């Protein structure tokens, strides 16, 4: 039975889909049998970074409705025989039943070591669907204050839905934009285990455009980093530097929003 992990964030555009594609690829490169499920119903874009868009015939809603078999909805990656992908519907009117989606995901999970679910942005039904189907969660954030505040909110919401403590990936960590926080400050605010840091990287943008996950090339900096994150996931390890800080009791949103409101931020 697979470990079913939801990749989520709160704020949109922070890199959930990029992380799902590359973490999945990295896990497969480590020899794990992996299935990636796009749960961003209505928008559907995990097929792009994987380069599988031209091969979509059915989606998970077709399988849930009995219109196709599992073998028809499951696309096997041609580069890695142990990496599979299941798309979701791209039409906007879709709202799947969370219980049924969870059952289907757990049925699929029987054949894999890892199932990664790419969650939609926000905290609406789509997010709840994705989280409800998972046993573990990875939160993706950028150093941007809004992204961190949203991540904090999501961590709070998930505490009622997933028993396992969530893990953190900081993406675009060296984003030169204004209003960004240092890694250490992010750890102090969110206070969950850090499993990896990915920098802002033009090579990632190029790889997404080409549909070739950067994790396939460990010679590239981000490829190496994604492989390292996969290693941390498999070994249940965290980034050691911050391990002491994550042991502190979480003092969540209140202190963060207070800091924002009173201008007492942890900013650099
Ligand atoms: N580390 C990075 N360096 C440079 N570009 C990145 C990086 N991570 C992601 N991107 C780019 O940022 C954009 C948003 O990434 P992505 O689609 O993965 O975010 P998302 O969180 O899934 O978005 P949404 O909430 O809309 O689903 C994409 O164009 C992607 O190529
Ligand atoms: Mg996405």
**Whole-number pLDDT of residue 25:** 98
Q: CA 188, CA 138: separation in Å to the nearest integer?
A: 17
Task: Quote the tokens at residue 109.
Answer: 């999970």
Taking residues 259-263, what's their average pLDDT? 29
pLDDT digits (tens, 9 = 90+) for 213-259: 999 999 999 999 999 999 999 999 998 654 444 444 444 443 333 33
**Model confidence band, residue 179 (pLDDT cutoffs 50, 70, 90):** low
More confident: 2 or 94: 2
Question: From the CA of 203, which ligand is nearest?
Answer: 1
Asked whether 48 and 58 are in contact (CB, 8 A), the reply is: no
- Ligand 1 within 6 A of CB of 12: yes
**Whole-number pLDDT of residue 105:** 97
Ligand 1 pocket, mutate which of 9, 16, 18, 24 (most atoms under 8 A from CB)? 18
Query: Which residue's CA lies nearest to atom 12 of ligand 1?
Result: 15
Taking residues 132-156, what's their average pLDDT? 96
- Ligand 1 within 6 A of CB of 174: no
Question: From the CA of 10, which ligand is nearest?
Answer: 1
Taking residues 120-144, what's their average pLDDT? 94
Residues having C-beta closer than 5 Å to ion ligand 2? 16-17
**Whole-number pLDDT of residue 177:** 72
SS3 letters for the chain?
CCEEEEEECCCCCCCHHHHHHHHHHHHHHCCCCEEEEECCCCCCCCHHHHCCHHHCCCCHHHHHCCCCCHHHHEEECCCCCCEEEECCCCCCCCCCCHHHHHHHHHHHHCCCCEEEEECCCCCCHHHHHHHHCCCEEEEEECCEHHHHHHHHHHHHHHCCCCCCCCEEEECCCCCCCCCECCHHHHHHHHCCEEEEECCCCHHHHHHHHHCCCHHHCCCCHHHHHHHHHHHHHHHCCCCHHHHHHHCCCCCCHHHHHHHHHHCCCCCC
The fold for domain 3-262 equals: Rossmann fold (3.40.50)
Asked whether residue 131 carries a pLDDT value surpassing 70, the answer given is yes
Ligand 1 pocket, mutate which of 15, 37, 116 (most atoms under 8 A from CB)? 15
How many angstroms separate the alpha carbon of residue 261 from the centre of ligand 1? 29
**Model confidence band, residue 178 (pLDDT cutoffs 50, 70, 90):** low
**Whole-number pLDDT of residue 256:** 37
**Whole-number pLDDT of residue 268:** 23
**Model confidence band, residue 10 (pLDDT cutoffs 50, 70, 90):** confident
Across 19-33, 116-130, 175-189, the highest mean pLDDT is recorded for: 19-33
Task: Quote the tokens at residue 190.
Answer: 């969110």
Question: From the CA of 201, which ligand is nearest?
Answer: 1
**Model confidence band, residue 42 (pLDDT cutoffs 50, 70, 90):** confident
Atom of ligand 1 nearest to the CA of 118: 22
Q: What is the mean pLDDT of the chain?
A: 88
Taking residues 90-97, what's their average pLDDT? 72
Atom of ligand 1 nearest to the CA of 120: 27
Question: From the CA of 38, which ligand is nearest?
Answer: 2
How many angstroms separate the alpha carbon of residue 65 from the centre of ligand 1? 31
Rounded to two decimals, what is the model's pTM?
Answer: 0.90
Taking residues 61-85, what's their average pLDDT? 96
How many angstroms separate the alpha carbon of residue 70 from the centre of ligand 2? 23
């Amino acid at each position: 039975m697979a470990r079913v992990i939801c990749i989520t964030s709160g704020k949109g555009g922070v890199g959930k889909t990029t992380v799902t594609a590359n973490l999945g690829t990295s896990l497969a490169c480590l020899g794990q049998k992996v299935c990636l499920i796009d749960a961003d119903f209505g928008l559907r874009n995990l097929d792009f970074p994987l380069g599988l868009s031209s091969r979509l015939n059915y989606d998970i809603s077709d399988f849930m409705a009995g219109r196709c078999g599992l073998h028809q909805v499951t696309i096997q990656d041609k580069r890695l025989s142990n990496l599979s992908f299941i798309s979701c519907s791209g039409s906007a009117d879709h709202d799947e039943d969370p219980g049924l989606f969870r059952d289907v995901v757990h049925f699929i999970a029987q054949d894999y070591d890892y199932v990664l679910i790419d969650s939609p942005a926000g905290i609406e039904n789509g997010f709840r669907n994705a989280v409800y189907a998972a046993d573990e969660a990875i939160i993706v954030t950028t150093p941007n204050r809004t992204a961190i505040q949203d991540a904090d909110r999501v961590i709070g919401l998930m505490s009622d839905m997933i028993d396992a403590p969530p893990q953190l990936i900081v993406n675009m960590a060296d984003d030169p934009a204004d209003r960004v926080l240092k890694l250490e400050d992010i750890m102090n605010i969110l206070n969950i285990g850090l499993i990896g840091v990915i920098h802002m990287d033009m090579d990632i943008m190029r790889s997404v455009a080409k549909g070739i996950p950067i994790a396939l090339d460990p010679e590239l900096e981000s490829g190496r980093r994604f492989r390292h994150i996969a290693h941390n996931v498999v070994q249940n390890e965290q980034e050691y530097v911050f391990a002491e800080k994550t042991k502190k009791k979480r003092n969540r949103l209140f202190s963060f929003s207070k800091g924002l409101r009173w201008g007492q931020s942890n900013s650099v």
